[in-house]
Structure 1
Amino acid sequence: MNDQTPDRYVTFMGLDCDGKATKMMGILAVHMATSQSRWVGYFQQKLEERARMGNDDLHFIGSQINALHAFFEELDDAEGLALLEHLEEHCC
């Protein structure tokens, strides 16, 4: 990013929203690779759409809060749910 491009996440300074979003996407990738859940196909489609649209991790997470919550709840992933809640409360 150059000095002329405003940081659209400037209000999130000090919260490391980008780093936490990257961590969330890693958790999602692991679950998608190891789960037989119906959510896997859904997220594959949404990730393909995300790539075509050029959206970042935080935008994807914000757009998929409810689906991510349902998926992590189905998998009984307390860590994933806690991180998702943090991102929703502080970053989205």
Structure 2
Amino acid sequence: MPCNAAKTDRYLSFEGIECDAYAERVVGYIRDCIGDVENPSDWQSYFERKLVENAGMGQDDLFLVGSQINYIRMLFEHYEHYEHYEHGAGLELLDQIEEDCC
């Protein structure tokens, strides 16, 4: 039975899905979190290293986010990076990336 809904199938194409923009925002949130010296997380040094490694390998932000999604989730949970968080809704965006882009 054919579906007439205009839903993008992530397994066929990322067309219409802003995966790179989502990943760029998540990396910005990671940078905000690891820059917070008043509320340190055990994940700060880990992500400082991962950001350098990712850049050194020439990988894009989506690669980093996709390969570190569970660790990013733990970092964002430490900072309560929910919708009410002043810097944005990191956890909701992470869920969206996982659903649409990974």
**Structure 2 match to 1:56:** 60
Query: Unaligned regions of 5+ residues in structure 1, if any?
Result: 1-9
Which AA in structure 2 matches 1:87? I
Structure 1's consecutive aligned runs of 4 or more residues displaced over 6 angstroms after TM superposition are: none
Q: Secondary structure at the match of 1:14?
A: coil
More deviation in 56-65 or 11-20?
11-20
Does residue 79 of structure 2 align to residue 69 of structure 1?
no
Equivalents in 1 of 2:20, 2:50: separation in Å? 19
RMSD of equivalent CA atoms: 1.6
Query: Unaligned regions of 5+ residues in structure 2, if any?
Result: 1-11, 83-88
Compute the displacement of 1:27 (Å). 1.1
Equivalents in 2 of 1:33, 1:41: separation in Å? 10
**Structure 2 match to 1:4:** none
Measured against aligned partners, the alpha-carbon deviations of 1:25-47 in whole angstroms (never above 9, x if no partner) come to 11111111114111010001111
Equivalents in 1 of 2:74, 2:29: separation in Å? 14
Which AA in structure 2 matches 1:29? R
The normalised TM-score by structure 1 is 0.84
Corresponding residue to 1:85 among 79, 82, 95:
95
Equivalents in 1 of 2:69, 2:63: separation in Å? 10
* Structure with greater helix percent: 1
The normalised TM-score by structure 2 is 0.77
Measured against aligned partners, the alpha-carbon deviations of 1:52-88 in whole angstroms (never above 9, x if no partner) come to 1111000000010010011111111111110001001
Report the identity percentage.
41
Larger Rg: 2
Q: Which of structures 1 and 2 has the larger relative contact order (alpha carbons within 8 angstroms, sep 6+)?
A: 1
Aligned length: 84
